[in-house]
C-alpha cells in the first residue's frame, strides 16, 4: 500500500517539526484516497504538547466544511514525536480510527501509516510526486 505526497509537502512537515523540536506539531492531510494534495498545519491544543498532540477542533470543522463545498477531503493527519521514533505510539494507537492516514516525524525520519482498527497500523510506502501549481501547504499555529 502506498501514500502519494509531494516532496514540498514532506519538506513542509519536516520543517515544522524542526522548528518546534520540544513540542509535537500537527496538521491535516487533505486529498482523496491515499493521495495527499495539501498539508495544513494546525494548532496543537493538547494539555501537554511536549508529549501529545490534539488538533484544534476548529481546524477540523473548517476542513470538513471546505470539503463539503468541493475542496479536498481530510484523509488523515501528521504529527511529530520530538523525542521518539517515526512510528505509532501506544497513545497514537488508542486514538486511531480505521482508514485514517497517519504521517509521523521522529528521529530524523518521516513515515506513513494506515490505521486499521484503532490498535493496529500498516506501514505505507511513501511515493513522492511533483508539486502542483497552487497552495500545497497552508500554515497554521502550533
Please list the active-site residues: 24
- Give bridge partners of residue 26 from the DSSP assignment: 42, 79
Task: Report CA-CA distances (Å) from 19 to 6, 12, 47, 57.
Answer: 20, 10, 20, 23
Distance spanning both ends of the chain, measured CA to CA: 30
Long-range Cβ contact pairs of 54-63 (< 8 A, separation 24 or more) = 54/26, 55/26, 55/27, 55/28, 56/140, 59/28, 59/140, 60/28, 63/28, 63/30
Residue 14 CA neighbour count, 13 Å, CB half? 11
Amino acid at each position: 500500500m502506498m501514500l502519494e505526497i509531494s516532496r514540498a509537502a514532506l519538506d513542509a512537515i519536516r520543517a515544522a517539526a524542526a522548528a518546534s523540536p520540544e513540542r509535537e506539531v500537527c496538521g491535516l492531510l487533505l486529498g482523496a484516497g491515499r493521495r495527499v494534495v495539501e498539508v495544513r498545519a494546525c494548532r496543537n491544543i493538547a494539555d501537554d504538547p511536549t508529549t501529545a498532540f490534539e488538533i484544534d477542533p476548529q481546524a477540523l470543522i473548517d476542513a470538513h466544511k471546505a470539503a463539503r463545498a468541493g475542496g479536498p477531503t481530510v484523509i488523515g493527519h501528521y504529527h511529530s514525536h520530538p523525542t521518539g521514533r517515526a512510528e505509532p505510539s501506544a497513545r497514537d494507537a488508542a486514538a486511531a480510527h480505521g482508514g485514517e492516514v497517519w504521517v509521523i516525524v521522529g528521529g530524523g525520519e518521516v513515515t506513513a501509516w494506515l490505521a486499521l482498527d484503532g490498535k493496529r497500523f500498516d506501514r505505507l510506502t511513501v511515493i513522492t510526486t511533483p508539486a502542483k501549481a497552487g497552495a500545497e501547504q497552508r500554515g497554521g499555529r502550533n
